[in-house]
């Protein structure tokens, strides 16, 4: 009698990625320290307001490195100042929209939004509802392709939580439709929290997916991710072009081969 087959290889790989998430996030932090001289070569663009949104259960503390990096590049950048991200509560949805509207008014133009994980879903939803306020969206490991299309009311918010908890076991996921504003989704096949396929959108004239090596928890400190964010924010308004992987070594080694 043959022995029962073991767990599928894909499931074992998912388990390994999840177990090694914290350690791989530390690797990204170490790579950031080592790669600081290279990051000084990152593109710089027109200073304009940038809002950075944290991931699920995280606060502005989790985006401090990313915001400091963008501030050094010359962007007026702010966190969301709404405490921990416990999901799409009405006060959070309204608070993010009010923040972006205020910054757009103060600076006389639309705002770029960088969202990590669930924060990227918030960013995309705001861009769908209020595209005139949003210059572009950059999402980092955000599983928007598996989230409910348009949450309405408490029942839908509960559905968002359920979906997010199950994102390592998503089947038949399809890339999400593009936004009405330029959008870049940064994803990693080594993500141990969400299935990388849930982070994909349909690519088009102003929508793209960019792969990195980072762990989910390390997105905000990974040097490749920081380079992509800098490159995207440097795109001129009305002249957005798709991301191109740096050709100069060792920067090129930070990105997977296409």
- Please state the separation of Cα 107 from the chain's center in Å: 24
Identify the pLDDT of residue 171: 57
The rounded percent of the chain whose pLDDT value lies above 70 is 82
Ordered domains of the chain (ranges, CATH): 10-235 (3.40.50.1820)
Answer yes or no: is pLDDT of 88 > 50: yes
What is the CA angle 25-85-144, rounded to 5?
75
Please state, in angstroms and rounded to a whole number, the distance separating the CA atoms of residues 255 and 74: 25
pLDDT digits (tens, 9 = 90+) for 141-196: 999 998 654 444 444 444 444 445 454 455 568 899 999 999 999 999 999 999 99
Cβ count near 176 (within 10 Å): 22
Positions of E strands within 141-241: 183-188, 207-212
Q: What are phi and psi of 218, to 5 degrees?
A: -100, 5
C-alpha pair distances (Å), 152 with each of 44, 128, 159, 173, 208: 39, 14, 10, 22, 27
The larger pLDDT score, comparing residue 122 to residue 24, is at: 122
């Amino acid at each position: 009698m043959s022995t029962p087959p073991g767990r599928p290889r894909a499931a074992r790989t998912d388990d390994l990625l999840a177990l090694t998430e914290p350690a791989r996030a530390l690797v990204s932090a170490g790579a950031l320290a080592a790669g600081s001289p290279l990051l000084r070569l990152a593109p710089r663009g027109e200073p304009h307001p940038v809002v950075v949104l944290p991931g699920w259960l995280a606060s502005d503390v989790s985006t401090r490195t990313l915001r400091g990096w963008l501030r050094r590049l010359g962007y007026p950048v702010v966190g969301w100042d709404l405490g921990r991200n416990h999901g799409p509560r009405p006060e959070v949805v309204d608070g993010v929209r009010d923040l972006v509207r205020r910054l757009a008014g103060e600076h006389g133009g639309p705002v770029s939004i960088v969202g990590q994980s669930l924060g990227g879903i918030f960013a995309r939803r705001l861009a769908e509802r209020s595209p005139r306020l949003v210059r572009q969206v950059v999402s980092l490991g955000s599983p928007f392709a598996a989230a409910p299309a348009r949450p309405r009311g408490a029942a839908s918010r509960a559905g968002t939580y359920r979906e997010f908890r199950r994102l390592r076991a998503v089947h038949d996921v399809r890339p999400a439709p593009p936004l009405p504003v330029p959008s870049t989704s940064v994803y990693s096949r080594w993500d141990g929290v969400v299935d990388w396929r849930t982070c994909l959108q349909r690519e088009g004239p102003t929508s793209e997916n960019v792969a990195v090596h980072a762990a989910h928890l390390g997105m905000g400190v990974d040097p490749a991710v920081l380079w992509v964010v800098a490159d995207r924010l440097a795109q001129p308004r009305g002249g957005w072009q798709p991301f191109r992987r740096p050709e100069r070594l060792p920067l090129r080694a930070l990105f997977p081969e296409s």
